[in-house]
Structure 1
């Protein structure tokens, strides 16, 4: 008999194991701009799309997720863990970059996740966190009309459970004593009431309002 899936596994499967290509592309660009290389920890690695986007710059990828998704590249060192219940199965200060792409909104305790990312990254290493952008036109209109953010409607629950604003990312970074903090946007956002997306050139004019996702990148302090 096949064991019944746990609640954590069901939530993980609901997320489908991947996100929009624009998110991975934005993270790849931000890391390349900073010359990041070495060992990557992809926390909430899903099907491995971040590794595909940045792999040429890195020598190794440790992936962490609640389940193994189809399509995960064979060279990803997968470590299965419940990110809400256990510490990351990675040694202290052993990673050059720790990324959580569209993961933090799935967890009950977002600060605990970022503290774990900081723990496993070497001093001076990079931490990357992405999440749905609650300040976009689409999300704010949905909040006014439906009383909830666009990425946190009933159809997304319980997978999407913790909505964070840009100010929350700043506060978490400050609480975790991160340095060289930058907030960026994906320049891809859906036009309300349509299936269309704004052209990238248009989204760049007002990225906070016209991007569906926001990115925090910062460094662990050296001392």
Structure 2
């Protein structure tokens, strides 16, 4: 799939710069005919991007549907913490939740929705602020505060995702992580210059398991899939 996409409506991407491009390049080979659901779709910028590369059956869910502007997709309203999504037994070949789970009062609720509506051969793409990077760990060591969850971060960020805990919860929904990575692969778009320099030195001695970067990205499938 090509990442050279021009979003003609200039829909607002509520992510760090370049993340949508990275996610598009990181998707596995998928048929353009599979149904796709974007949970917490916002303006619809991600769905519009998928439409431009050929995906045909695109739907979004968001609490505020008035902001939605994607021409190649539909959108319906739901409160992810409390509502049923209204799809009955409908399944999706790709479900995405980009920078959403950290906003929820009950992060497990999104896993419930995914387990219910993900096709057996489908993928769930999940991203969230990365608290595992050396830069984030350095900030927490010095200040006792997590980047993206302190007074400088989005005030609606309420739950950081710790991978060790997520890996304990996922089996309850018959889900498992099949691929994980950090974006950007090197450097940072949110930390100051001095923090980035110190972090690069610390990376020589402290393992990050390849999960540096500001955003933690995961591909998830049903646990009974290889």
Same fold, TM-score > 0.5, yes or no: yes
Match of 2:161 in 1: 164
Length-normalised TM-score, structure 2? 0.76
CA distance in 1: counterparts of 2:31 and 2:112, whole angstroms: 20
Instruction: List alignment gaps of at least 5 residues for structure 1.
Output: 1-15
TM-score (norm 1): 0.77
Cα RMSD after superposing both structures: 3.0
Cα-to-partner distance string for 1:82-125 (whole Å, 9 max, x where unaligned): 11111223232421111110000000111111120121122211
CA distance in 1, matches of 2:54, 2:103: 28
Unaligned runs of 5+ in 2: 1-11, 198-202
Residue 215 of structure 2 is aligned to residue 219 of structure 1: no
Assess if the C-alpha contact under 8 Å between 1:124 and 1:222 holds in 2: no
The runs of 4+ residues in structure 1 deviating greater than 4 Å are 195-198
Matches within 5 A, 1:1-223: 18-31=14-27, 33-35=28-30, 37=32, 38-55=34-51, 56-68=53-65, 70=67, 72-156=69-153, 158-179=155-176, 181-187=178-184, 189-190=188-189, 192-194=191-193, 208=210, 210-221=212-223
Query: Is the contact made by 2:178 and 2:218 (CA closer than 8 Å) also made in structure 1?
Result: yes
Question: Structure 1 residues 86, 70: closer, same or farther in 2, change over 3 A?
Answer: closer
CA shift digits 1:138-191 (9 cap, x unpaired): 321221232221010124464100011222332333332225621122225237
